[in-house]
Amino acid sequence: MSEYTTGRSGVKRREHGPAERDEAGRPLPRRALLLGIVLVVVVVIAVEYGELVTQVGELVSSSLMMIVTCLLLIFLAANFLLRRRKPGWRLSRAEILYLFIMLTAACNVAGVGMVQFIVPMLGHIFHYASPANRWEQFHPYVPMWLVPEESVLDGYYAGQIRFFTADILAGWLHPIVVWSVFVFVFVAFTLCLSLLLRRQWVEKERLSFPIVYFPLELTREDTSLWRDRLLWVGVGVPVILHSLAALNHLYPSVPYVPLKPTESLRLGQFFPPGHPLSAITLAFYPMALGIAYFAQTEVLFSCWFFYWVARLEEMASIALGFGGPMSQSDMPYLNQQSLGAFVALGALALWLARGEIARALRGAFGMRIRGEEEPVPPRAAIYGFLAAGCFLVCFCLAIGIPLHVTGLFFSIYFLVVVGFTRIRAVAGLPWLFGPNHPPHIFMAWAVGPRNISTQALTSLNYLQWFDWDYRGTAMAHQMEALKLSTSADLRTRDVVKGILIAVPLAIAVSYLAILAIAYHLGAESEKIEQYRMNWASMPIDLLAIWGTSQQGIGWDEIGGGAAGAVVVLLLSFAHTRLIWWPFHPVGYALSCTFTLEWLWCPLFVVWLAKLLILRYGGIRLYRRGVPFAVGLILGDYVVALVWAAIGLVTGEQMYSTFWN
């Protein structure tokens, strides 16, 4: 059960705390666990084949993963069909949500920023080395126990051979085992961190977690939602409009209303190329509109407001002669500001949770504390956190990264991850990118490439897979899973167990599936999606620049990052001290990233709509709009599923409802 409460900045749903619900929670049934294991294998293979070969779209890169959400809808449809003939076969709400959590955790490690980036990275620097790019200079510094044997790489890139042979498996066995262990420990580290922050974020601060509203609302045992006309009106909007766009994609004479960025919606067409406003575009993604409805109005306002502030910063820098395409300056250092803002958000989140972290530490070292009766004792999270952290540090030392560089890099990176997860917990957003200036790049230029050894730079390059595309950040999904466990009365211990079972299985299946596809079709073949196969060229090109650079400490880099951190600290102070303060630090952190380029417009639309709803209709009218918002999200996924199925049957490249 839950109810709505009003706050200083909008409306949010209040979930009952632990004292108000069954403390044990609903356990993970054995049949759901077995079904989850089978589905993890099937779905991970489908993800790799769908994204790499058929290229049906981004199946796992959105906050509400497309393939997992479509399976959620299939479970609900199956329950509806079985309600009379085979009621015993129906899945309970708890079973559906456990499956949702397990599949999300599995697909997370199977996508970009995880295994899809690791495999192409391993042989890239050897296969594509040439006198022009000078990559060969780094070959002596590559830890050879991280990469496959050179004899098996030709088949990987050329294709037309079987992967499952003794010689090829032997050539890949060592790196597969090493990186599988690393990924599992890496995910376990963020899971332990999530457990340490759970009480603070979910039960004390009661962050809104807009993403979890959709699975929570759809799986409620109260069926009144499905009888609400506004739900079906919301479903109809994206189904009709996206279907017209899909028909226009096939038959250009069919009229349609653009929802995604197109030339007709691009406001930047009125400005010259390279102008700060040349990339401005309108967009009206139904899914984005629906998710944003569950975010607080001050967050929505801050996102679109600071997005335009960032554009004005760029214009002012050009007008003053400090920036622009003809300038050698990075003014106004928006990329560095974004990194500093994420770091400050992460640091503030840890500071606010210092009481919970201290409580867990006391429990870990033998002192009795309240809450030890929780399904996952605080000491388990602390021990797991310390063990996983020690492994990551030892791994870096083993590949030649000095302790001080390792400490600095992971400190910056995990603060960014906590900040990223905090943004997801507050703003939701259908897709979310990290800072444009990730920790690898910031640290290299801030410390100075000449102050970091070539061995350390080369080894750090093999860790850029998790620092390049933050859509694959596991911690955000883990925190949402823990929020689901609280809101839907699931057993937290079983949620953790489901994740820890799904992740290693998904890692193994992902490696085997990607390698089998590459050896069959060829990693260089046009039959395989090339962004994932060739992404490693970008960080290796950066490595080549760093390897020849004599730059020392980058004070401009440090200054830009410090400026972003200071702004977040000031905004956070004002946000917590001044009731009338309308600006949220999350909006500023996002303003300097790619995230808002296509999302500022839907966030503005929902902010304006919520402002009018709350002012003239109050909480009652807001609650009345919830089914419509859920319908917008539901319709977006339904129409995506339908047109993807049509594409698979016909073999045609179909219109994609998400992205551009």
Q: How confident is the model at residue 6 (pLDDT cuts 50, 70, 90)?
A: very low
| Domain extent listing, the chain | 2-650
Residues 6+ apart with CB under 8 A from 239: 635, 638, 639
Give pLDDT tens digits for 341-389.
999 999 999 999 999 999 888 888 776 655 445 557 778 899 999 999 9
- The confidence band for 68, taking pLDDT boundaries of 50, 70 and 90, is very high
Bridge partners, residue 12, by sequence: 5
DSSP code at position 14: E
What confidence category does residue 455 fall into, taking pLDDT thresholds of 50, 70 and 90?
very high
Which neighbouring-strand residues pair with 2?
15
**196-200, 348-352, 572-576, 590-594: least confident range:** 590-594
- Digit-coded pLDDT (tens) for 147-184: 999 999 999 999 999 999 999 999 999 999 999 999 99
Q: What is the pLDDT of residue 24?
A: 62
The residue with greater pLDDT, 10 or 283, is 283
172 Cα distance to chain centroid: 28
Q: Give how far the C-alpha of residue 295 lies from the chain's centroid of Cα atoms, to the nearest Å.
A: 17
Q: Is the pLDDT of residue 10 over 70?
A: no
- Residue of 204, 209, 564 lying closest to 572 (CA atoms): 564
pLDDT of residue 224: 85
Q: Given this model, what pLDDT does residue 25 score?
A: 80
User: pLDDT tens digit string along 202-211?
Assistant: 999 999 999 9
Q: Is the pLDDT of residue 3 over 60?
A: no
Mean pLDDT over 415-424 rounds to 97
What's the pLDDT score for residue 326? 52
Question: How sure is the predictor about 641, in pLDDT bands with cuts at 50, 70 and 90?
Answer: confident
CA distance 335 to 591: 10
pLDDT at 319: 84
In SS3 terms, 280-342 reads as: CECCCCHHHHHHHCCCCHHHHHHHHHHHHHHHHHHHHHHHCCCCCCCCCCCCCCHHHHHHHHH
Q: How confident is the model at residue 569 (pLDDT cuts 50, 70, 90)?
A: very high
pLDDT of amino acid 273: 83
Given this model, what pLDDT does residue 374 score? 56
Please give the pLDDT value at position 16. 45
12 pLDDT tier (thresholds 50, 70, 90): very low
Q: What is the mean pLDDT of residues 114-121?
A: 96
pLDDT of 1:
34
CA distances from 321 to 244, 314, 439 (A): 47, 11, 28
Q: Over range 604-617, report the average pLDDT.
A: 96
15-57 residue pLDDT tens:
444 433 434 688 999 999 999 999 999 999 999 998 999 887 7
Grade residue 322 by pLDDT with cuts at 50, 70 and 90. confident
Average pLDDT over residues 409-433: 96
C-beta of residue 476 within 8 angstroms of C-beta of residue 420 = yes
- pTM value surpassing 0.85: yes
